[in-house]
Amino acid sequence: MPLSVVILAAGQGKRMNSDLPKVLQPLAGRPLLGHVLDAARGLEAAATCVVYGHGGDQVPAAFPDAGVRWVLQAEQHGTGHAVAQAMPQVPDDHLVLVLYGDVPLVQVETLSKLIAEAGEGAISILSVMLTDPTGYGRVVRDGAGSVARIVEHKDANTKERAIHECNSGVMCAPAGRLREWLGALKNDNSQGEYYLTDVIVAAVRSGLKVRAVIAPTAAEVLGVNDRLQLAELETAYRRQRAVELMLTGVTIVDPARFDARGPVSVGRDVYVDVNVVFEGRVKLGDRVRIGPNVVISDSEIGDDTEILANCVIDRAVVGPRCKVGPFARLRPEALLHEDVHVGNFVEVKKSELKRGAKANHLTYLGDATIGEKVNVGAGTITCNYDGVNKWRTEIGDGSFIGSGTMLVAPVKVGAGSTIGAGSTITRDTPGDKLTLERSKQVTIPGWKRPGKK
Ligand code: UD1
Ligand code: CA
């Protein structure tokens, strides 16, 4: 049967104590709902509907390219009521998979199993065994072990509260039947809400099978109600991502001190020291070594390159056999070719460093092209900004830039130039010559230090 996914995301999340709607709270740097949308995308459903309400248009506005239908649940009268808002969008012959916007770590593989268990004559629910089931709906089974109903914690008696099998909230049901059952829901319970969970009893009564798939790990179905749970899920996510990478062959010195928040692709024998964060898309070649306290966002690092401690690398491309850091900052559009060295307290922005170029200490390179084997001395600065416009600096191959040089852009340094230390270069320099700009050093005869009066 074709699949429609319905994601419930209208709830307020009172216990977050936040101005931000709960489903927009970040996990691994992305909104909770973004993680659920990714899982839904992995299922190749015919359509996905998101029920939103609390936080209003802020929620759809956060996902302009989601390619889903947004359905408003203006007042929140419970999970059954929420699903009912989406049902006009769903044809009778579809299967409906219900996901929660605040249950972010649910895995495509588990959902596929759940979907396979549902059909014309069966609904399936995703349950989970919890040592502390407080707050969750409990899965009540009959004498034969079949699922009979779900009872909410607040409505459960002592015997029911002793059950450890809990409802994750995720379920899959045939749309036509679900529509009937939702239409007949009552809100005569302790919370005065229309419970989605009450469709289980209706399904059993109509002679359908109710199949429970038990989630392989609790983390997969844990929801976020407060910031403590949010941090716990962040830990689970961190662990899961580190495990994935370690199993592909990356050495991660301490998986508890490593965060991969976006897609990472790696070559062989990559080494990652402690307190490293990857954000966005990160690509690492073979034998790349990343030192401690490094943040890499949306960047590519070539084979055999070493990133030393305390570097921040953002939207940069680093070639093979480079050495970066310690304490280097590569900003957007930094492009380092092979065998380049960028050392401590060097900032590179929108600049290209060609093969073998070196800038080892205390330097700013912005809007610049640095030729092959150029040596940029300590304290060199490309003065690229005149207060209004940005200008380019070009340094030809094989040049040697003396320490403390100011290169006032736009300016070109000819190939093979030598620039004397301390120069302020405002005009293009001829290649293969020594250029310097410096007032003559003088020593004043007869000068005396002032004495104390
Ligand atoms: C629900 C389940 C419970 C299960 C638990 C798992 C019901 C009645 N209970 O309880 O069995 O153990 O989840 O976490 O289904 N929502 C809406 N509109 C509403 C109400 C809720 O969109 O009117 C959304 C919320 O944003 C949230 C999800 O539905 O994403 C679950 O709602 P919540 O109030 O957290 O349900 P629980 O009481 O936790
Ligand atoms: Ca909840």
Are 217 and 279 contained in the same domain? Answer: no
Q: Is residue 235 part of a domain?
A: no
Average pLDDT over residues 216-238: 95
Q: Identify the pLDDT of residue 13.
A: 87
Instruction: Note residues around ion ligand 2 (Cβ under 5 angstroms).
Output: 223
Q: pLDDT for 176-225, tens place per residue? A: 999 999 999 999 999 999 999 999 999 999 999 999 999 999 999 999 99
Are 8 and 115 contained in the same domain? Answer: yes
- Cβ(85) – ligand 1 distance below 6 Å: no
361 is catalytic: yes
Q: Identify the pLDDT of residue 391.
A: 97
Q: Is residue 151 part of a domain?
A: yes
Q: Is residue 242 part of a domain?
A: no
| Residue 202 exposure: Cα atoms within 13 Å on the Cβ side | 18
Q: pLDDT for 37-58, tens place per residue? A: 999 999 989 999 999 999 999 9
Q: Is residue 30 part of a domain?
A: yes
Are 128 and 273 contained in the same domain? Answer: no
Are 189 and 329 contained in the same domain? Answer: no
Q: pLDDT for 252-292, tens place per residue? A: 999 999 999 999 999 999 999 999 999 999 999 999 999 99
Q: pLDDT for 5-30, tens place per residue? A: 999 999 888 999 999 999 999 999 99
Domain count, the chain: 3
| C-beta of residue 31 within 8 angstroms of C-beta of residue 25 | yes
Does the predicted model carry a pTM greater than 0.85?
yes
Are 156 and 20 contained in the same domain? Answer: yes
d(CA 99, CA 113): 14
Are 159 and 32 contained in the same domain? Answer: yes
Q: Mean pLDDT over all residues of the chain? A: 97
Q: pLDDT for 390-405, tens place per residue? A: 999 999 999 999 999 9
Q: Among 204, 221, 238, which residue terminates a domain?
A: 221
Residue nearest to atom 13 of ligand 1 (CA): 169
- Cβ(194) – ligand 1 distance below 6 Å: no
> How many angstroms is it from 430 CA to the middle of ligand 1?
73
Domain extent at residue 332: 248-337
Closest ligand relative to 53 C-alpha = 1
Are 68 and 16 contained in the same domain? Answer: yes
75 CA closest ligand 1 atom index: 23
Are 364 and 332 contained in the same domain? Answer: no
| C-beta of residue 69 within 8 angstroms of C-beta of residue 60 | no
Q: Is residue 228 part of a domain?
A: no
Average pLDDT over residues 54-63: 96
Q: Is residue 175 part of a domain?
A: yes
Average pLDDT over residues 89-109: 97
Are 113 and 17 contained in the same domain? Answer: yes
> How many angstroms is it from 169 CA to the middle of ligand 1?
7
CATH number at residue 257: 2.160.10.10
DSSP SS3 for 90? coil
Q: Among 299, 314, 337, which residue terminates a domain?
A: 337
Closest ligand relative to 153 C-alpha = 1
> How many angstroms is it from 377 CA to the middle of ligand 2?
59
Q: Among 311, 337, 363, which residue terminates a domain?
A: 337
Q: Identify the pLDDT of residue 189.
A: 94
Q: pLDDT for 300-335, tens place per residue? A: 999 999 999 999 999 999 999 999 999 999 999 999
Q: Is residue 161 part of a domain?
A: yes
d(CA 111, CA 11): 22
CATH number at residue 125: 3.90.550.10
Are 36 and 167 contained in the same domain? Answer: yes
- The Cβ of residue 290 has, within 10 Å, a number of other Cβ atoms equal to 29
Q: Identify the pLDDT of residue 422.
A: 97
- Cβ(81) – ligand 1 distance below 6 Å: yes
Are 143 and 264 contained in the same domain? Answer: no
Joined tokens for residue 129 = 């065994």
Are 375 and 428 contained in the same domain? Answer: yes
Q: Is residue 229 part of a domain?
A: no
